[in-house]
Amino acid sequence: MKVILARALIHYQSPKHHDEAKALFEDALQRNSKHGSALVGLGLIFEEQHNYVGAADFLRQALALDPGDSKIMSEAAWCDVLRGNFSEGLSGLKECLSQITGIDARSRDFKAQVLWRIGQALWSSDGKTSPLIGRLFMADAYYRRV
């Protein structure tokens, strides 16, 4: 029950309640060091606090428990990009993109987010505009209208 509250506190008036959420997640991890939701929650808090190394560590632990979770994979890869590890981050984002197969609104929104992150990673990796970026954003536009 505490983990559910902590997950809500991550997003409610962020970052005002992060300390409380962090304490609840840490309490859950003391009881069960492999509590996936607590690991993800801490990873998201660290990501928002710009501690991308810590965030990636928690998210990778959660991903090891649930390797098929594309949302966790996306966040871990995005942390790699944000800390400047573009090749590893791009690889993770592309793998995540290949796993998104749904055509419902949530899947399309998630796919658009991953495509945007890939575009940002490519843009930031060399500081120059790449023709591939344009194709990714056009793909994003296509999936948004389907």
Output the pLDDT for position 146.
Answer: 44
Other Cβ atoms within 10 Å of 75 Cβ, number: 23
Preceding amide of 15 cis, omega within 30: yes
pLDDT at 23: 84
Omega cis (within 30) before 67:
no
What's the per-residue H, E or C state across 8-25?
HHHHCCCCCCHHHHHHHH
Q: Is 44 exposed, middle or buried (0-12, 13-18, 19+ CB in 10 A)?
A: buried
Work out the number of other CB atoms within 10 angstroms of the CB of residue 94.
Answer: 13
Residues of the chain with pLDDT under 70: 1-18, 127-146
- What predicted TM-score, i.e. pTM, was given to this entire model? 0.78
Tokens describing residue 30: 């003391």
CATH number belonging to domain 1-67: 1.25.40.10
Report the helix count and the strand count for the chain, using DSSP H and E: 8, 0
